[in-house]
Amino acid sequence: MEPLTHPLLDEATVSQLRATLLADETSWQDGRKTAGYQAAEVKNNLQLDRNSKTAKENSQLVIKQLESDPLVKSFALPRHIHGVMFSRSGIGQGYGMHVDNAYMSSGRSDLSFTLFLSEPESYDGGALCIQTLQDSKQVKLPAGQLIIYPSTSLHAVETVTAGERLVCVGWIQSYIRSNEDRTILFGLNAGARALLAEHGRSPELDLIFQAYTNMLRRLGN
């Protein structure tokens, strides 16, 4: 399944969110506290305490944006968006190659997401590296954009060599567990919506939407 990159937050929202997070100087803690036993050995960053008021309020902001975004809903078919947290990495910090836990206290991880909150020119290094079959994909997006990718992927964050990287990360438990099934449904839904926008309603298009809905019902869990 190919990752999805997509603008989620506008410039004003990102700027306000970034200022709010960095203003809470007392709630940042060692990121290894939330890592699994395997990942903790290669994790070196700071994370905002999930129980802090700042983290709770701004996590809900991100979740609401994800839940209301049509493209995210079509791609991820989210049943539960969970484990949302804010991470910052300064010079010398990063996150070595790892795979996310399949099950967390907050839910199953079918898809992972990273929402970039720092402009890419404000820091060096810090790219998200997602391992593919033969190489790795490096991702460093403008502030306000996110990437959603299968949680089954090995991935890492390159060491930051200048500036500071601020992101929001989290996981999605999808109604469709299989990446392959989710990809097929996404393509079918996208094609049907494009036909609807170009040609309007038709009996033939009703049949396509019927097939999509019934496949979703059959494959969902």
- For the segment 65-119, what is each residue's pLDDT rounded down to a tens digit? 999 999 999 999 999 999 999 999 999 999 999 999 999 999 999 999 999 999 9
Kindly compute the dihedral angle of the four CA atoms of residues 70, 8, 6, 192, in this order, to the nearest 10 degrees.
10
pLDDT for the residue 192? 95
Q: Residue 15 corresponds to which amino acid?
A: S
- Which residues 6+ apart lie within 8 Å of 220 measured at CB? 77, 175, 176
pLDDT for the residue 41? 81
Tell whether the torsion through CA atoms of 148, 64, 57 and 19 is positive or negative.
positive
pLDDT for the residue 48? 97
Using 70 as the pLDDT threshold, list the residues of the chain that sit under it: 36-37, 39
Rounded-to-integer distance, Cα 65 and Cα 220, Å: 23
pLDDT for the residue 34? 76
DSSP 65-79: HHHH-HHHHHHH-EE
118: left (phi over 0), alpha (psi -120 to 50) or beta: beta
pLDDT for the residue 12? 97
CB 106 within 8 A of CB 82: yes
Rounded-to-integer distance, Cα 83 and Cα 133, Å: 27
pLDDT for the residue 36? 67
98: which 2 tokens?
């790892």
Q: What is the DSSP letter of 112?
A: E
- Which residues 6+ apart lie within 8 Å of 215 measured at CB? 184, 185, 188
